[in-house]
Each structure stands twice: as structure tokens, then as C-alpha cells.
Amino acid sequence: MTFAIARLPGGIGIEITDLEPASLQDPATATALREAWIAHGIVLFRRMADSPEALLALSRCFGELEVHPIPRFRLEGYPELILLTNRDGPSGPVYDFDGVHVHGRIPWHTDLAFATTPNAGALLRMVQRTATGGQTGWIDTALAWETLDIAMQERIAGLEAVYHFTPDLDAMRFNNPGGTRLTPKRDDYPHFPPVAHPLVWTHPETGRKVLNLSTLNIRGIIGMTEQDSDALINALLQHTLQPRFQYIHAWENNDVMLWDNRRTMHCAFGHPVDEVRIVQRSTLRGSVAMGRVLGEQEALAS
């Protein structure tokens, strides 16, 4: 193996060091990197990608890359990368939190929780960090499942939850961070019908059980009253959001974070709207479907 592995502070995830960029062309190295990612779920690379080309070379070690379906989000000249920045003005909602105008805050979620084929993972490269805020966090939801008591595991093992596309904090039902939206709401998003996913699902490569919550998107549990459903979801969130399952990353320029979307939640803490942040991201295509699109009557009942 042509690299070293160190645990990240907090008990989840790893940092990979002593990796030479040229070694990414070696199939054995790429295989070992992918095995480390699958084993640990959250991986930090420092100063491993100082260009879009370097990010792509690293990303391709972990699977097939997905082109964003909306061209305006793609990095010009690099269709497999997206650009996330407020350099030319806010690219997403701005909220007031106790007098601080915050851009880019996205609560704990799983990518494409509102669809039936979630991404396998993603790599995020910090091009320009902000002086204030801007951290990103990850939660190991496989570890959260494994530390539930047996009675709770048995209670939730066969349940389904409903997930909605949620573009605005106002529409969140659980663990809503509050804040007052300052920018107009958009109405040009595609239509995503509600979906039902297992509340606990099995990772397709490791066989480990994973808690599937996505606080941004979850709406309720099928077959339960709203009161009982809300109580159960809140209890699971109280357990899952414990700091012992989290890694919060304070970025440096050219850091890259890789995560397994099938066994983690992540969140963006946001930053002051007057500070510029530039991020590039690649997305690892998912190939395993989960859940189902809800029919009209079942969606109304949920």
C-alpha cells in the first residue's frame, strides 16, 4: 500500500496521508483506496487536489462519476464536476440567524434521499475557504444503528419512512435550525414525487445496517399515527445526532473530503453571505435502487 491511514478526531472516518498523485494511476493503489473508503465511509485528503484535473483523477479511483443534469451547475469545461460558490452573488438561500446573514446552510441530510437511487458518494474540494464558518459535518449512520438498543432495532427494522424533496428550511419537519429566509423562494425546481424508503437499510457492499433518516427530507413513518411517528423519529434523531457519531471539518484550501452517501448524513453549516466560498464537487453514481415512489393515495395518506 502506497499511503498511510490515520483516524480522524472524534472516532469516525480516516485521513489518508503519504499518497503521491502519480500513484493514482496504479490499479492496486486505486483498489486499496476504494477499500479504505468502503471500510471507513468518511475520508480526508489534504492538499491532494490543487486543480479540477487532480480532483477528477482522485475521484475516478472510487467509481463512475455522474454528470449533473442541470448544465448551469457544471464547472465550465468539466462536465463531471459542479461548482458551488457565492462569488457572483448568493447561489442558494440566505437566512438570518440571530442577526447573522448566512449562505449555504444545509441541515443533516443524505443526497437524493427524495429519490429511489441515491448517490454512492461524493468528493468535495475546497478551492477558497471562508475566514468565518463554512464547516461541513458528517455522521456515521451505520455506527448509529449498531449502538441502538436491541429493542429499538427490532422495533424499526421493517418500517418505511416517507421522504420529500425539501428546498427550503421552512418545509423541514424535524430538527429544523430555524432562521428567517431573506432571499425569494424559487419555483423552478423539477417535480419529485414523495418516496418511501426503509428506515433501516442494508449497505450494498458491506452488508452493514444503516439508519436512514435525512433530517432535511423525512416526513413520517408509514402505518403510524402522526403523534407516534413523530415521537419515534425524534427519539432516533436524538440518538443519531450525538457528537460521538460526528466529524466536523474545518476546511483548508485544497482539502478534499470523500464520503459514502449510503452510510452517512452530512450537513453544511453555512458562512456569512459577504464572504466568498468556492467549492468543486464530483459525484459517484449510485447503482442500487432502494425504496419506491408513492402512489397518489398513499402519498396523500402520508
> Each residue of 109-120: pLDDT tens digit?
999 999 999 999
Give the pairing type, strands 278-284 and 78-85. antiparallel
Residue-level pLDDT at 302: 56
Q: Which helix (H) or strand (E) holds 236?
A: helix 226-240
Low-confidence ranges of the chain (pLDDT < 70): 1, 296-302
> Each residue of 233-257: pLDDT tens digit?
999 999 999 999 999 999 999 999 9
Q: Which residues face 43 on adjacent strands?
A: 14, 258
CA–CA separation, 274 and 123 (whole Å): 25
Q: Residue length, the chain?
A: 302
pTM: 0.94
Fold of 4-301: Double-stranded beta-helix (3.60.130)
